[in-house]
Structure 1
Amino acid sequence: MIGSLVATGRRRKLAAGTKVGVTLAAAAFSAWVIYANLFTISDPLVLGILFVSGVYAIMFVAIGATPGAPDRVPFYDWALSALSLACGVFFFVNATAIADRISLLDPFTPAQFAFGTALMLLTLEATRRSTGMGLTGVVLAFLAYNWFGYLLPPPFGHGVSDFSYLLDILVFTTDGIFGVPVQVVASYVFLFVMFGTFLAKAGGGDFFFNLAALVTGRARGGPAKIAVISSGLYGTMSGSPTSDVVATGSITIPVMKRLGYTPRFAAGVEVAASTGGSAMPPIMGSAAFILAEYTGTAYNEVVLAAIVPALLYYVGVFGQVHLRAVKDDLRPSEDEVPSALETFREGWVFVIPIVGIVWALLSGYSPTFTAGIGVLVMLLASMLTKRTRLTLWQWIEGLGETTLRILPVAGACAAAGLVIGGLSMTGLGMKAANVILVISDAEPLVTLLIAAIVTIVLGLGMPTPSAYILAAVLVGPALAQLGFPILQAHMFLLYFAVLSALTPPIAVAALAAAAIADEDPFRIAFTAVRLAAIGFFLPFAFVWNPALLLLGGPLANVAAVVCGLLATCAVAAAIEGHLGRAVPAWERALLAVAAVAAIAPVPWLAPLGVVAILAVFGRHAMRMRAEAGQAKTMG
């Protein structure tokens, strides 16, 4: 059952001639995206039309209809690809007429009706192939509501909506398929994915892994700590927990198993670490770009607000890994740790593009221009050493691979546009918000709990951007009505959309790790949830205390960071039940309560929490020192 929800079409291994043709077509498409974003001022509707039709044309050739689809491209997929191009040509040629027509008043021509219907159906099939039936089922349910909702009683019913009305909003305006999600993916998300593609192609993934190994490889539980750091570094480039697990987990999980970790724990570490990468600055995942557009917040402000929660998340995961390693006395193998000379001999070039992106963000450049700078600096930096230098064909492959990597995200965001357009047309978003407020009796904490649960449920089996978008339009209005600041509220939803990737029962990131670890994905998912426990706590913390998003004054921000670090360490110790020695149950409960108190924006409560945490830590440190002294005397 779960497998059918997340099963996608099979990525074909194309014959040599077809593969070269698809690579060249995908590379040409990438080159057009660069041109359209950096060198022209494109009409949003035209940009969306050409982007969607181009993506679909490549998708139907590159991805089969079922998980068992053959490598040979059947005639009907060529036909779907051709139909996608035909839709793009029709909408592009008639863009002026479409823009000038008055929505809901001017009737469709037969050609407009036919091509509009075809594009909607192509979107549903593209979504099913690229993301599975989970998101596709959600979209179909919303479409059914939009079409037949007039049959429902108040307050959920709405005015009569025939198919032409639905088609007009969803296809012939920028409120549907060509809405904000596709606009974001067609611009800076695409360019940031291109940056990550060229970074990996030049060997950046190996550099980040070796850098993590250099920092933590010789410590207790070294390989697990390598997984935490390298997955965070890689994840901020990929923006996808699943691809991060596959890319870094194929190395880290076997190494952790050799060290002595159980397959379940090794895979859980990788899943928890990879999931957090989607919320790790400076790039984060595509959902963060959509958040910036939805909230009207500059992307560099989103990045700044995300820094502390992301670091606290990884401190929490790292802390639990460390405590588990100390408890089980797991030590690394020296021959698996690279030297600093080996790491930086040629890997130093990968520091340059990261610095370039950070500089561009801090300088206030737009996300699109920042991504363009990152790609350019990455390509120039790769030419500085022989090992990282890319050939002309590798450049073409990198452009083509960028398009292929964006296919699932583009399909998901186009489908999300169908949902958003329908919600705006029927007013279901506000109705859902009112229902949530009635259920919670407008209590802020209860409303936040409901919002978290709804977001995680929406995210089961679908990409993070889709989960965030649906939560933003369904749950966001309820949080706004209660007066939650827009950035804090949407960051709250973003975090739970990210965490849905590791939350049972589906946990797509755990499914990816299961094949590598040879372990049950449910067991992996529950372990990952335990390791990522601080992630479920953080969104409530930064809504309660905005200084954790660096939204307070300088003194309040510093105090929040310090208290947040102590609270995170306390949560890790409470969960693992170990601080160099076993922690009794009453102290674990005290640490959990003290962690909540420590991040409270209450002048008298936060110091009490800090004192309690330091008292427990100090007690164990003193007892360990005394026991070590006794052992030395006896020895």
Structure 2
Amino acid sequence: MSYSKFHWALRVALSLAYFAFLLKQFFWPDPPLMAASVHVFTAMAITALVLPLKEDGPLGTILTRLIDVVIVAACLVIVAHFFVATERLEMRLAYIDDVYLVDKATFIVGMLLLLEGVRRCVGWSLLLMIVLFLAYAFLGSYLPGALGFSGFNLAEVTDMITMNTDGIFGITSATAINFVFYFIMFGAIFALTGGGQLFIDLAMMAAGRLTGGAAKAALIGSALFGTISGSAVSNVAAVGVLTIPLMRRSGYTAEQAAATEAIGSTGGQLMPPVMGIAAFVMADLLGIPYTRIALAGLIPAVAFYFALFVVVDLRARKSGVGTVSADLLQVVAPIMPRLHLLASPLFLLALLFMGYSAPFAAFYASIVALLVPLIFKRTRYNIRKLYEISLDVAQQMALLSIPLATIGVIMAVATQSNLALKFVTGLTLLGGGHLYLSLILIVLGCLVMGMGLPTVAAYIIGSVMFVPALVDMGVDRLAANFFVMYFCVLSMVTPPVALASFAAAGVAKADTMKTAMLATGIGAVSFLMPFGFVNDPILLWSGPVPDILLAFFGMLCATVAWAVFIQGYLHVHISWIERILFLIVCVGIVLVKSLEPSWFMLLAAFWCLVGWCFLVRPKLTGRQAPVAAGAPQPTSGTE
């Protein structure tokens, strides 16, 4: 048998076994430590096969193949070790009972394997961060001042990271097994049986004929696809391959098209019910029902896309570019014969809001997603599709689970060494006790920390390092977590490392850094919103429904004011003085608590400015016509 056939057979066998193991947990769950250890190291073995070393690299073909095979074999040996040792590990007293030589060897080999897995999955940024925390665990006694602590020896680090349900087998791995798997399975089934294409076609039909319809279709498609996707990059790959060429044909430059898709796909991670996987982790960290997290995420997600929609609309009216021609819309396949495919996401939402658990809802919605396409001949699929779905789910899970598991190292070290507490104290001192200065410092921290990391990874680290500081300053725990998550999401488009922007630039064959800058400029309209729900948790669906809806309306008005400030256009081109007035009104609505008298005065001021731009300004100066289609377009971040 050739190596390529052996590699393929091994990858398929491990993927199907891994999928079956995860599926088994729904019916017959294993003890947490056994389930987590089998999950993590089987995922690592699959990662080594899905992302093999480059055979044309400096190591040569034979050596790279040998390394991959050794990694897979080592992972399976570690799985066998935990299978045999689980009973002993579950009965022992952590940090008190002896740590055996085999446990230390398992930690060292397992950690090296996972570090290599992180490098292959997400690159050097997370790898270097984990190495830094491991070094801190061992060398803390050599550090001066507040950072220093007594340090841990090898036995203590082994105990902390690989011998109990903390560390790599902690909350992140448990969340992957108990929540993430079921939603990845649902998303894969729905997308591969035609639901993903239906979402994109619905977006085209809904927005294609509007002013700037190409970009608006991209935003709607990304939002819809984001409800089932946990990754901004995969969202770009699924939606951008169709919407970016459409935007290019309607007059956008390559960078403008890529930037619009990048920021739209990034926002998909704020969309309930999946919310980039972070919702499940947040529910576990806060100890509250998942449905509460999804409901709280509704207003921020809608406000995010509304803000982008307004920016795209103003940009299209200002420039005259972006409208889709009728002949391009005619290629969209008929929607009505496929509408029944929406039964599964609707069934999922119904189960969630009826009070069923998230895994239960996602599991049975997956079954519905498999059965519903078979009702009509037009949407039926070949039975081989089940094999493709199983492989796809297993491999998606593996590539996501390795970064998630290794983040457990950061959580364990930061907690056990009191580094998280020291960070809270340091941030409080640096911010001088001022909430908004501390919030700005946390924004910078989230954007820097999120460079090159999956959103859920950045959020987990941020929840450990930043959230306690905000809670100490009186911020609601749920609002503090959403604030951190929001800016970790936005780090996917902000330079210098912007994974979603780079992915979109690759699809559009555009300049990567210019795309990232443009995406940040388009998305700048959403940077103020998190300050709103920190100041006023009612925006996270906390309070009487009439008050929530009124506060939501105010937030939408603030986003329009911010978009007008950025674009300098509302029905007519406006002056800098008028732009500054819109900015003042926007900041005021966000920072003043909803439903207070001054808040209503700011809303009135906003509508007065809107009336001025539509009714008075054109009479004073004459309405300025939009730039003709096809004219050269500005390339600044605001465009």
Distance 1:627 1:206, change over 3 A: farther
Cα shift readout 1:47-88 (whole Å, capped 9, x = no counterpart) = 101101210111111112359669997022111101101101
- 2:49 aligned with 1:56: no
Residue 529 of structure 1: how far off its partner (Å): 1.1
Q: Which moved more, 1:620-629 or 1:134-143?
A: 620-629
- 2:259 aligned with 1:272: no
Q: Which moved more, 1:18-27 or 1:173-182?
A: 18-27
Cα shift readout 1:192-223 (whole Å, capped 9, x = no counterpart) = 01111111111222111110011110111111
Cα shift readout 1:297-336 (whole Å, capped 9, x = no counterpart) = 2110011111011001001111111111111223211022
Q: Which residue of 2 aligns with 1:342?
A: 334
- 2:346 aligned with 1:358: no
Alignment counterpart, residue 194 of structure 1, candidates 185, 195, 204 = 185
Alignment counterpart, residue 127 of structure 2, candidates 124, 136, 157 = 136
Return the letter of the residue paired with 1:41: P
Q: Which residue of 2 aligns with 1:26?
A: 15
Report SS of the residue matched to 1:237.
coil
Residue 42 of structure 1: how far off its partner (Å): 2.8
Distance 1:139 1:340, change over 3 A: closer
Residue 285 of structure 1: how far off its partner (Å): 1.2
Q: Which moved more, 1:119-128 or 1:139-148?
A: 119-128
Distance (Å, rounded) in 2 between the aligned partners of 1:609 and 1:160: 54
Distance 1:20 1:630, change over 3 A: closer
Distance (Å, rounded) in 2 between the aligned partners of 1:282 and 1:412: 22
Return the letter of the residue paired with 1:28: A
Q: Which residue of 1 aligns with 2:221?
A: 230
Residue 408 of structure 1: how far off its partner (Å): 2.7
CA contact (8 A) 1:360 1:373 kept: no
Distance (Å, rounded) in 1 between the aligned partners of 2:145 and 2:91: 35
Q: Which moved more, 1:449-458 or 1:107-116?
A: 107-116
Residues paired across the two proteins, number:
616
Q: Which residue of 2 aligns with 1:471?
A: 462
Distance (Å, rounded) in 1 between the aligned partners of 2:434 and 2:38: 46
Distance (Å, rounded) in 2 between the aligned partners of 1:512 and 1:477: 33
Residue 563 of structure 1: how far off its partner (Å): 0.8
Q: Which residue of 2 aligns with 1:408?
A: 399
* Structural mapping, 1:387-536, within 5 Å: 387-536=378-527
Distance (Å, rounded) in 1 between the aligned partners of 2:56 and 2:576: 51
Cα shift readout 1:274-303 (whole Å, capped 9, x = no counterpart) = 000001112221112111111112110011
Q: Which residue of 1 aligns with 2:632?
A: none
CA contact (8 A) 1:210 1:338 kept: no
Q: Report % sequence identity.
A: 31
- 2:603 aligned with 1:610: yes
Q: Which residue of 1 aligns with 2:368?
A: 377
Distance 1:466 1:341, change over 3 A: closer
- 2:355 aligned with 1:367: no
Residue 356 of structure 1: how far off its partner (Å): 0.9
Return the letter of the residue paired with 1:622: L
Distance 1:448 1:578, change over 3 A: same
- 2:34 aligned with 1:41: no
Distance (Å, rounded) in 1 between the aligned partners of 2:177 and 2:362: 12
Return the letter of the residue paired with 1:620: C
Q: Which residue of 2 aligns with 1:285?
A: 276
Distance (Å, rounded) in 2 between the aligned partners of 1:259 and 1:444: 45
Cα shift readout 1:464-510 (whole Å, capped 9, x = no counterpart) = 11101111111121112112111110011110111111111111111
Residue 113 of structure 1: how far off its partner (Å): 2.2
Distance (Å, rounded) in 2 between the aligned partners of 1:298 and 1:630: 52
Residue 439 of structure 1: how far off its partner (Å): 0.5
Residue 225 of structure 1: how far off its partner (Å): 0.6
Distance 1:628 1:369, change over 3 A: farther
Q: How does the TM-score come out when normalised to structure 1?
A: 0.93
Return the letter of the residue paired with 1:57: A
Distance (Å, rounded) in 2 between the aligned partners of 1:569 and 1:184: 37
Q: Which residue of 2 aligns with 1:8?
A: none
Report SS of the residue matched to 2:527.
helix
Q: Which residue of 1 aligns with 2:325?
A: 333
Root-mean-square deviation over aligned CA pairs: 2.1
Q: Which moved more, 1:41-50 or 1:300-309?
A: 41-50
CA contact (8 A) 2:7 2:49 kept: no
Q: Which residue of 2 aligns with 1:158?
A: 149
Distance (Å, rounded) in 1 between the aligned partners of 2:111 and 2:14: 23
Residue 627 of structure 1: how far off its partner (Å): 9.2
Distance (Å, rounded) in 1 between the aligned partners of 2:324 and 2:408: 48
Residue 388 of structure 1: how far off its partner (Å): 2.9
Return the letter of the residue paired with 2:51: I
CA contact (8 A) 1:120 1:171 kept: no
Distance 1:589 1:238, change over 3 A: same
Return the letter of the residue paired with 1:583: I
Cα shift readout 1:412-462 (whole Å, capped 9, x = no counterpart) = 111100111111221100011110001011211111111111111111111
Q: Which residue of 2 aligns with 1:179?
A: 170
Residue 406 of structure 1: how far off its partner (Å): 2.1
Cα shift readout 1:78-116 (whole Å, capped 9, x = no counterpart) = 111011011011101110001112222222223222223
Distance (Å, rounded) in 2 between the aligned partners of 1:605 and 1:67: 66
Return the letter of the residue paired with 1:513: A
Return the letter of the residue paired with 1:82: A
Return the letter of the residue paired with 2:377: K
Q: Which residue of 2 aligns with 1:3?
A: none
CA contact (8 A) 1:24 1:400 kept: no
- 2:518 aligned with 1:552: no
Q: Which moved more, 1:370-379 or 1:70-79?
A: 70-79
Residue 349 of structure 1: how far off its partner (Å): 2.4
CA contact (8 A) 2:141 2:150 kept: yes
Unaligned stretches of 5+ residues in structure 2? 625-639
Report SS of the residue matched to 2:475.
coil
Q: Which residue of 2 aligns with 1:9?
A: none
Residue 16 of structure 1: how far off its partner (Å): 5.5
Residue 629 of structure 1: how far off its partner (Å): 11
CA contact (8 A) 1:223 1:256 kept: yes
- 2:614 aligned with 1:621: yes
Distance (Å, rounded) in 2 between the aligned partners of 1:144 and 1:615: 59
Residue 129 of structure 1: how far off its partner (Å): 1.1
CA contact (8 A) 1:24 1:396 kept: no
CA contact (8 A) 1:23 1:396 kept: no
Residue 173 of structure 1: how far off its partner (Å): 1.3
Q: Which residue of 2 aligns with 1:4?
A: none
Cα shift readout 1:176-202 (whole Å, capped 9, x = no counterpart) = 000111111122111101111111111
Unaligned stretches of 5+ residues in structure 1? 1-13
CA contact (8 A) 1:495 1:535 kept: no
Distance (Å, rounded) in 1 between the aligned partners of 2:99 and 2:30: 25
Distance 1:583 1:259, change over 3 A: same
Cα shift readout 1:218-274 (whole Å, capped 9, x = no counterpart) = 111111111000011112211211111122111111211111111121111101100
CA contact (8 A) 1:594 1:608 kept: no
Q: Which residue of 1 aligns with 2:631?
A: none
Q: Which moved more, 1:243-252 or 1:388-397?
A: 388-397
CA contact (8 A) 1:276 1:314 kept: yes
